[in-house]
Amino acid sequence: MKRIFKTKSFSRDMRKIAGLTDSDLCTSVEEMAQGLIDADLGRHVVKKRVAIQGHGKRDGARTLVATSVSNRWFFLFIFKKNESSNVSKKELTALQEIADDLLSLDDTQLTSSLETQIITEICHEDKKQNS
C-alpha cells in the first residue's frame, strides 16, 4: 500500500512552480519505485527530476524525497534548475534529519501530522486522491 505525502513547506514552494501538479508527483513516485531516481543522497533522501506540463523533465523541477523505497514517500524540497544546481551540505543534513523523523512515524503519529497539516497526503493506492 503506497502512500505519498508532501510537507507543508514543499506545498508552499510547489505553488511557485506553474504547471506542476500532485498527479505529476505521484507519477514520479511510480518511476522511483521502479528504480528511476536521479541520485541517492543518503539517509533515505533521493533526488528526482519531475516533468512540468509543457516543459518536460529537463526544464522541470528538482525534488528531494524521503523514502525507504517501500510504502511511504515524502516530498521534502523542490527547486527549479535555474534557481539552484543543488542543496548545500547543511540543507541536506537538515533534510536527512527530517526524513528520519517522517519515516519513523507510526500510524497514530502519521494521522496526527495529517490532521495538523504538517503533511498532506496526495496519493494513496487504496484511495482516490484529487490533484
Q: How do beta strands 72-80 and 3-7 pair? A: parallel
User: Could you give the percent of the chain with pLDDT greater than 90?
Assistant: 69
pLDDT digits (tens, 9 = 90+) for 40-57: 999 999 999 998 877 666
- The arithmetic mean of pLDDT across residues 5-17, rounded, is 94
Instruction: Give 98-118 pLDDT, tens digit per residue.
Output: 999 999 999 999 999 999 999
Sheet holding 45-52, edge to edge: 39-42, 45-52, 56-67, 72-80, 3-7, 119-124
DSSP lists the bridge partners of residue 7 as 119
Instruction: Delimit the domains of the chain by residue range.
Output: 3-124
Residue 86 confidence (pLDDT):
78
